[in-house]
Amino acid sequence: MVLLPGTQLPLHIFEERYKEMIGEAIRDQSVFGIVLAMERGVVNLGCAARVERVLDTAADGQMDILTVGEGRFEISALNQERAFLRAEVNFFADTETEAAEDLRERVSSLFRAAFPSPEEEWPFLVDFTHPQLSFQLAQGIPDLEFRQQLLATRSEPVRLRKLGDFLPNYQRRQAAAEQIKKVAHTNGHGRHYPSSS
């Protein structure tokens, strides 16, 4: 997953190592890092998460939490001494923070066209007045590699322009991805085959 600054992410915590990590984060009111894990390993750039609230706790320690993204960081060293991975990180900020109003409005319009359902039906909250509007909009896009690109970009105007290029074909790409999922289960012959487990 890719967490973006200023956006919310609900998490279900069930592994023992993560129960320990989140328990410490809640106790110490500290942040923990979320980085994208890929086949070749974890990406060395991520976003700090703070537990905004605990939604539910089970008797065995499992919990549902709501987190919010804070600062971005680059990993400088990994530490594997504990059950969960820890790291030394360097936080960074944007080098260019302000985007022209016409750019913000144009990309917001493209976003609304890509997500035509009423705003109250979106499964995420968007603050269209947020200074980092790009992150607010990108949380609705499931393409993790694209979100990771935005996370690494240190300019709000550049992120908005990337979104402006990405959003016009968003619905077409989503429809193609859904079609591929359907065809994959029919072996290309229109008949459904059980997926292997």
- The length of the chain is 197
Q: How far, in Å, CA of 99 to CA of 66, rounded?
A: 29
The backbone torsions φ and ψ at residue 97, rounded to the nearest 5 degrees and listed phi first, read -105, -25
Contact 93, 80 (CB under 8 A): no
Q: How far, in Å, CA of 98 to CA of 108, rounded?
A: 15
Mean predicted confidence (pLDDT) in 104-130: 93
Element (H, E) at 4: none
Mean predicted confidence (pLDDT) in 144-169: 96
**How is residue 129 written in tokens?**
């007045």
- Give yes or no for residue 187 having a pLDDT over 50: no
